[in-house]
Amino acid sequence: ELKVEQNPLFLSMQEGKNYTIYCNYSTTSDRLYWYRQDPGKSLESLFVLLSNGAVKQEGRLMASLDTKARLSTLHITAAVHDLSATYFCAVVRGSRLTFGEGTQLTVNP
Amino acid sequence: DGGITQSPKYLFRKEGQNVTLSCEQNLNHDAMYWYRQDPGQGLRLIYYSQIVNDFQKGDIAEGYSVSREKKESFPLTVTSAQKNPTAFYLCASSIAGAGADTQYFGPGTRLTVL
């Protein structure tokens, strides 16, 4: 059974600081997604990482994938309040996705 | 505009009632999915369909049923057999199976049992 674990689950940080969210998964997969969810809203696709060593960047967010370590990271650079949301990683298993529990990020002024 | 619509946005159910949640997409996607999200948790897969007239159980299918008679539509029925149905329900679609393509999500339906 594929298990996907994110840490931390809760993250409170100050504007302007950097931080990294980690996503570990238990079985082999070569495709991983990151999504963002605002409170009470749906999920928005951020990144898809397709192969070992893949790195994608959009604004202050950068995601990477290490399939050998079964680890993906979402790095936040110089955080701003607008990044406050819950971030999910999701790992492909056959034709399905398995989601992590999510990391609730709060960026304080 | 292309997208995924879900209705209703809020739904209240009495004990013992069946209710149906609607999901429609005009993206011409082959695959559609239903997820359940409980407060503070990730998404769990209920059912998915990769082609019309075919669907498979996900991880938590008990107490739910679906149909896929049209490519655009994938309704979910929450039956009285589902003992704890209060949750946020999200529908998603992708061009093909999740292994190949990004899933795009609808706005969700919040179901509350009275």
> Tens of pLDDT along chain B (114 residues)?
669 999 999 999 888 899 999 999 999 999 999 999 998 888 999 999 999 999 999 999 999 999 999 999 999 999 988 889 999 999 999 998 656 688 999 999 999 998
- Calculate mean pLDDT across residues A8-20: 96
**CA–CA gap between residue A54 and residue A76 (Å, rounded):** 17
Of the candidates B48, B45, B11, the one whose C-alpha atom is nearest the C-alpha of residue B32 is B48
Structure confidence at residue B100 (pLDDT): 65
The model's pLDDT over A31-65, given as tens digits with 9 standing for 90+, comes to 899 999 999 899 999 999 988 888 999 999 999 99
| Pairwise CB contact (< 8 Å): A41 & B48 | no
- Dihedral angle sign, alpha carbons of residues B80, B48, A49, A66: positive
- Indicate the helix (H) or strand (E) that contains B94: strand B87-94
Beta bridge partners of A44: A36
Chain A residue with the nearest C-alpha to that of B47: A96
Chain B contact for A27 (CB, 8 A cutoff): no
Chain B contact for A100 (CB, 8 A cutoff): yes
Q: Is the pLDDT of residue A29 over 90?
A: no
Q: Nearest C-alpha of chain A: how many angstroms from B10?
A: 12
Chain B residue with the nearest C-alpha to that of A9: B40
**CA–CA gap between residue B32 and residue B55 (Å, rounded):** 9
Percent of chain B as helix, strand, coil, to the nearest 5: 0, 50, 50
| Pairwise CB contact (< 8 Å): B42 & A99 | yes
| Pairwise CB contact (< 8 Å): B97 & A100 | no
Structure confidence at residue A49 (pLDDT): 94
**CA–CA gap between residue A55 and residue A72 (Å, rounded):** 10
The tokens describing B51, both together, are 């082609």
Interface of B with A (CB under 8 A): 31, 40-45, 48, 50, 58, 90, 92, 97-99, 102-108
**CA–CA gap between residue A4 and residue B74 (Å, rounded):** 27
Chain B contact for A68 (CB, 8 A cutoff): no
Structure confidence at residue B24 (pLDDT): 98
Contact list in B for residue A4 (CB cut-off 8 A) is 42
Structure confidence at residue B91 (pLDDT): 97
Distances (CA, A) of B113 to B16, B32, B80: 10, 25, 11
- Calculate mean pLDDT across residues A73-101: 94
Structure confidence at residue B98 (pLDDT): 57
Q: Greatest CA span in chain B, whole angstroms?
A: 40
Residue type at position B89: Y
| Pairwise CB contact (< 8 Å): A45 & B104 | yes
Q: Nearest C-alpha of chain B: how many angstroms from A98?
A: 8
Structure confidence at residue A1 (pLDDT): 84
Structure confidence at residue B4 (pLDDT): 96
Outline where A23-81 has alpha helix (H): none
Structure confidence at residue B99 (pLDDT): 62
- Dihedral angle sign, alpha carbons of residues B36, A33, B29, B5: positive
| Pairwise CB contact (< 8 Å): A95 & B48 | yes
| Pairwise CB contact (< 8 Å): A94 & B50 | no
